[in-house]
């Protein structure tokens, strides 16, 4: 069994490793390999992929997961997420685990998902992208979010884009609503994740204010 854990917290990663060894080793798997490189090849071949999710991120495209046809994807969250019906196809069968969930709840979710994943393969997500319900930022929204992420003031952004501050707040509200971001802190965490994504569709470019 191959497991890839993508999480910034070292102690949490180590805890997950011990957890997976306890529930799988000697029962479902005779050997467990923990993959350390976040390469496309490892995302494709891992039986279990664990990803850390910022608020709202679960509604976006995950190109690194599009080739997966078996196994399970676990999303670690700091907020409670009810499995929505409009998840991107590439993570349609993801299981959400809140970081405060008890071990018994996590164990039940993981084992149930693992048994279900053994029953059938799924179609690669990349073949369904045309009709995928994932959320995207428009060109203008990416521009606004880039400015906000760089710490540029509202008045400077509005002046640069030749719009009123009220219109800018409306754009910000629409973005927060689109991705279910309840607070400004959640929005900033979301932007931090966007800044590290590689997909051209959702990449948050560093845009000069006078561009």
pLDDT tens, residue by residue, 46-78: 999 999 998 988 888 888 888 887 889 999 998
Q: Write down the pLDDT at residue 84.
A: 65
Q: Write down the pLDDT at residue 93.
A: 81
Adjacent-strand bridge partners of 49: 4, 73
What is the average pLDDT score of the chain? 84
Adjacent-strand bridge partners of 6: 51
- Of 58, 12, 96, the closest CA to residue 189 belongs to 58
Is 70 exceeded by the pLDDT of residue 211?
no
Which of 100-107's residues contact partners 24+ apart within 8 Å by CB, and which partners?
103/19, 106/19, 107/19, 107/23
Check: CB of residue 1 under 8 Å from CB of residue 48: yes
Lowest-pLDDT choice from 30-34, 108-112, 128-132:
128-132
The model's pTM is: 0.81
Q: Percent of the chain at pLDDT above 90?
A: 41
Is 60 exceeded by the pLDDT of residue 112?
yes
The SS3 of residue 158 is helix
Q: Helices marked H in 118-200 — which ranges? A: 139-149, 154-161, 165-178, 184-195
Q: Report d(CA 97, CA 110) in Å as an integer.
A: 9
Is 70 exceeded by the pLDDT of residue 180?
yes
Q: Write down the pLDDT at residue 5.
A: 95
Is 60 exceeded by the pLDDT of residue 41?
yes
- When pLDDT is cut at 50, 70 and 90, the band that residue 200 belongs to is very low
């Amino acid at each position: 069994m191959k497991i890839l854990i993508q999480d910034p917290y070292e102690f949490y990663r180590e805890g997950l490793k011990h957890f997976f060894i306890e529930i799988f080793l000697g029962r479902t798997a005779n050997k467990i390999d923990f993959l350390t490189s976040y390469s496309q090849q490892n995302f494709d071949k891992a039986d279990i992929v664990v990803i850390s999710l910022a608020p709202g991120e679960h509604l976006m495209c995950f190109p690194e997961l599009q080739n997966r046809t078996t196994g399970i994807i676990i999303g670690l969250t700091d907020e409670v997420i009810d499995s929505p019906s409009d998840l991107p196809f590439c993570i349609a069968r993801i299981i959400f685990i809140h970081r405060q969930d008890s071990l018994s709840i996590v164990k039940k979710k993981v084992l149930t998902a693992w048994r279900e994943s053994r029953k059938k393969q799924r179609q690669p997500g990349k073949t369904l992208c045309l009709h995928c319900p994932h959320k995207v930022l428009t060109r203008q929204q990416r521009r606004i979010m880039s400015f906000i992420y760089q710490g540029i003031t509202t008045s400077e952004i509005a002046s640069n884009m030749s719009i009123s501050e009220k219109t800018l707040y409306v754009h910000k509200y629409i973005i927060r609503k689109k991705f279910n971001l309840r607070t400004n802190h959640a929005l900033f965490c979301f932007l931090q994740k966007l800044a590290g994504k590689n997909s051209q569709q959702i990449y948050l470019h560093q845009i000069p204010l006078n561009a």
